[in-house]
Structure 1
């Protein structure tokens, strides 16, 4: 554990009320972020700047000092633009990962004909890498990293492999929220090739992700997390079978009470910052 007495929590999520709301957990994360801040823990939130997010209404502005990061995906460079806003009714900051190719479109995961975007895999890879590179640029070592939503599922894998030796992540405990499937499609065939972002990731590390289904992403993200929070009461049997308590992994069962009171999740954060 670092000698620094400040306890830091990072939430990486693809939904957070009031910006994007796909499941009930968007509101739960909002309450949790505010309660975490109010408890005295340092907290920051990172999410995609989807084109449906109104920058003027939510008062997003570019963080110039963090500019200049290029994210490489399969040898192609994609410039990262980082924007920030203050969460309404709170003083904590939300950082938005933006890129012209991946996030300017005025829809989230599907086109006007309700077709799943063919590049959703690349958008996920870009977002996960962007989030971790941004934390490196902050120089802000989090004790707890809570990854929420299928678009964050690669982050636990990357933290345990490619970014394992980065000092900023040297004592981070990783939480992953496992949810019910939100898409029935399969990611494009190039998913595995592009997601293997470094030689530190071995085939066995990526095994669970290979099918490219929503369930595969959930299982993959869960396998590489230290703690798994069950984020839905309708989670599939295949995921339930995977998520059994073990000596090396803690499983937190879904609690309907979280919609009103997130105290137990805050206590989870606090316990992990002390361990």
Structure 2
């Protein structure tokens, strides 16, 4: 992995949010690549329940300041950064007061999904790409963790198809059992379609379930990692129907060799 550039894009990650399958692997996989001499960048949303003072987040003025269009609305992009001291790893945070100021991640105190989660996912995908463009950093591989990050493969393959910085980048999506019940906003299809996608490319978003959003990510990825011991049968079947490299589930104790081999032989070869 020496000198390979890998972009990690995650819905959540320790130590900034509580530990779970997604947040743990979103930390462990870049840490592994970093230790093996790879170059990494990590992006995640700056949720309002992340303690900025404790984790020493600060705004990067030169990267902030642009507006991203979401469903015909101009939404200001703020970029913050923090370091994980013991690993010497830097994390970039995509922020916007309207979308990420509230003191929670995906749902309210009653467990109801936030009605604008679809717009937050669109904003996050565009924010990551626009920031990487400003950094002028061309990744060899892009590894996506968690459903709020899962629009990124679609946007990279279609919306940013002519962006030379990502012309050679290979996209990997990790599939987790941790999703959400129900659907995102019923107008999500129209909001994504606003960005110029063909209806056929995003048809599954007419019913924006967890499984359908992940299907869209799988369809637009170059490789798939099954990151949970149990994943929905519907997703298993869909993965099987795609002619893509797949890494089967590996326990957290044994993931390093499996991930490294998958990166080297199936994605970066």
TM-score by length of 1: 0.92
Partner of 2:226: 230
Q: 1:255 aligns with which of 250, 255, 268?
A: 250
Q: Deviations over 1:38-64 (max 9, x none)?
A: 111110100000011101111111111
Q: 2:214 aligns with which of 211, 218, 221?
A: 218
* Correspondence list, 1:92-103, <5 A: 92-103=89-100
Partner of 2:116: 119
Task: Give 1:88 shift.
Answer: 3.6
* Correspondence list, 1:54-203, <5 A: 54-199=51-196, 201-203=197-199
Q: Unpaired runs of 5+ in structure 2?
A: none
Q: 1:209 aligns with which of 196, 200, 205?
A: 205
Q: How many residues align?
A: 268
Task: Give 1:260 shift.
Answer: 5.5
Q: Unpaired runs of 5+ in structure 1?
A: none
Q: 2:261 aligns with which of 256, 259, 267?
A: 267
Q: Which runs of 4+ in 1 moved over 3 A?
A: 270-274
Rounded to whole Å, the distance in 2 between the matches of 1:261 and 1:145 is 18
TM-score by length of 2: 0.94
- Greater shift, 188-197 or 58-67, is seen at 188-197
Q: Deviations over 1:210-230 (max 9, x none)?
A: 310011111111111110111
- Greater shift, 97-106 or 173-182, is seen at 173-182
Task: Give 1:272 shift.
Answer: 5.7
Q: Is the 8 A contact 2:222 2:267 kept in 1?
A: no
Task: Give 1:106 shift.
Answer: 0.4
Task: Give 1:112 shift.
Answer: 2.4
Q: CA RMSD in A?
A: 1.8
Q: Is the 8 A contact 1:12 1:145 kept in 2?
A: yes
Rounded to whole Å, the distance in 2 between the matches of 1:232 and 1:272 is 20
Task: Give 1:110 shift.
Answer: 1.2
**Which secondary structure does the structure 1 equivalent of 2:207 belong to?**
coil
